[in-house]
């Protein structure tokens, strides 16, 4: 199952990357490629990750936390697909996933980090990372919904990232994950970043 998860995850990320390249150059077939990538991620990759999580030896609390995060990713990415295809309930899916991510999942991660056995430096690095993610997610939510202060949140996020998080990150101890976890995290970053890119209007470029 692990190899299948890796294959589907990498394939969905690469397919989405290709779709975004097509989008950038306004090539035909963009919608189909992006739809296939998101469908593969939502229908195959996430369910298999959840299944593997419940088959693992993690504690029940850890399994629930990971599953909750995957569920939010599923809802959010599906919302992006709905928005691209101009289907109804797109904004509901996007807003609900973002709001629950910011107000529920991030606090869960903060609580987990607080109770972990990591040293203080590692905990601070994680806290700062969560703040960056929360600010970025809030800015994306404001941008999608065309609310005020979206640009201000973007400036705040990048300022905090460049002036606070990155310097601390590079001068602190860097945890090294195993290859499987590294690939899985890379897939998440590529897919989430890719679907955010699909929301950018390039028609005037």
Q: State residue 27 phi and psi, 5-degree precision.
A: -90, 150
Structure token pair of residue 106: 């991030």
Structure token pair of residue 9: 């995850």
What is the distance between the alpha carbons of residues 205 and 203, in angstroms, rounded to a whole number? 6
Structure token pair of residue 87: 């289907």
pTM summary value: 0.75
Q: Which of 9-23, 116-130, 153-167 has the lowest mean pLDDT?
A: 153-167
**Per-domain residue ranges of the chain:** 2-88+178-198
Helix (H) or strand (E) holding 87: none
pLDDT digits (tens, 9 = 90+) for 93-135: 999 999 999 999 999 999 999 998 888 888 888 899 899 889 9
């Amino acid at each position: 199952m692990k190899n299948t998860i890796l294959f589907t995850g990498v394939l969905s990320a690469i397919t989405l990357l290709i779709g975004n390249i097509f989008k950038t150059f306004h090539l035909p077939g963009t919608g189909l490629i992006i739809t296939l990538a998101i469908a593969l991620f939502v229908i195959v990759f996430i369910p298999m990750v959840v299944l593997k999580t419940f088959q693992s030896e993690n504690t029940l609390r850890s399994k629930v936390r990971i599953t909750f995060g995957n569920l939010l990713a599923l809802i959010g990415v599906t919302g992006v697909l709905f928005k691209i295809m101009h289907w109804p309930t797109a904004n509901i899916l996007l807003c609900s996933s973002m709001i629950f991510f910011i107000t529920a999942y991030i606090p869960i991660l903060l609580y987990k980090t607080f109770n972990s056995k990591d040293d203080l430096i590692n905990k601070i690095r994680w806290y700062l990372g969560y703040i960056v993610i929360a600010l970025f997610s809030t800015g994306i939510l404001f941008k999608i919904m065309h609310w005020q202060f979206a640009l201000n949140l973007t400036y705040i996020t990048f300022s905090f990232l460049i002036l606070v998080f990155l310097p601390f990150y590079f001068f602190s101890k860097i945890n090294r994950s195993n290859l499987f976890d590294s690939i899985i995290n890379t897939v998440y970053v590529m897919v989430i970043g890719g679907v955010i890119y699909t929301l950018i209007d390039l028609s005037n470029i």
